[in-house]
Structure 1
Amino acid sequence: MGARRKTCKDMNDVRDAIDALDREIVTLLADRLHFIGEAARIKNSRDAVRDEARIEDVIAKIRAAATATGMNPDFIEPLYRDLVERSIAHEFALFDRRHADKGSR
């Protein structure tokens, strides 16, 4: 990813680069959300949705990845904690819907 870092000639270059990255980020987040849905489908217990050890593992990995790219891990951690919490809420909703649908048959 670092290979894309370039010196921009003007603000249009900056904005174009940011817009392109934002589109990629949204696509990656959509992919991540797909796998959250897979987790909701696979897990048999609502208690398995929130896994504190897994949360801390994800945060540790994201901090390490940030450090490896030269990014301040303290910048990314709160963003990721919010993403993880929103992902868990989404997974709970999907899990509950899936089990409510099973019960209505």
Structure 2
Amino acid sequence: MTILPGPECSTMAEVRAGVDQVDRELIALLRRRFDYMDAAARIKPERGHVRDEARKAQVIENACRLAAASGLPEGAIRQLWNDLVEASIAYELEEYDRRVTKS
């Protein structure tokens, strides 16, 4: 099935195919993002350096600014990015611990 841009969809099947395609792309992008968490866990010298509240706030504000410029709901993006960053921190802590115990 051809994936149409959202504004060109005229059936729910087209909408669902587009959403499914975007979800596949988002998962691939999240894999790339978490690859950076793997690198951070390898690079940071201490476990206590994993959580960086100033950086977390910066990442969320960057996402909100981009969302607003794109016409997306800023509150929803703020919550989504907060959850994403928290999941990234948890993942990075697990990777850090795994690397330390493996050494």
TM-score, normalising length: structure 1: 0.90
Aligned to 2:81: 80
SS of the equivalent of 1:50 reads coil
8 Å Cα contact 2:6/2:18 also seen in 1: no
Q: Distance in 2 between matches of 1:17 and 1:94?
A: 33
Q: Distance in 1 between matches of 2:13 and 2:69?
A: 29
Q: How many Å apart are 1:5 and its aligned residue?
A: 4.2
**How many residues are paired up?**
99
Q: Distance in 1 between matches of 2:78 and 2:91?
A: 20
Matches within 5 A, 1:1-105: 4-102=5-103
Q: Distance in 2 between matches of 1:5 and 1:77?
A: 23
Q: Which has the higher contact order (CA 8 A, sep 6+)?
A: 1
Runs of 4+ in 1 over 4 A off after TM superposition: none
Q: How many Å apart are 1:47 and its aligned residue?
A: 1.0
Gaps of 5+ in 2: none
Aligned CA-pair RMSD: 1.0
Q: How many Å apart are 1:81 and its aligned residue?
A: 0.7
Q: How many Å apart are 1:6 and its aligned residue?
A: 2.3
TM-score, normalising length: structure 2: 0.91
CA deviations on 1:28-72 (whole Å, 9 max, x unpaired) are 001101110000000001111000000000000000010111101
Q: Name the aligned partner's letter for residue 82 of structure 1.
A: D
Gaps of 5+ in 1: none
SS of the equivalent of 1:6 reads helix
Q: Distance in 2 between matches of 1:51 and 1:7?
A: 42
CA deviations on 1:54-95 (whole Å, 9 max, x unpaired) are 000000000001011110110111111111111101100110
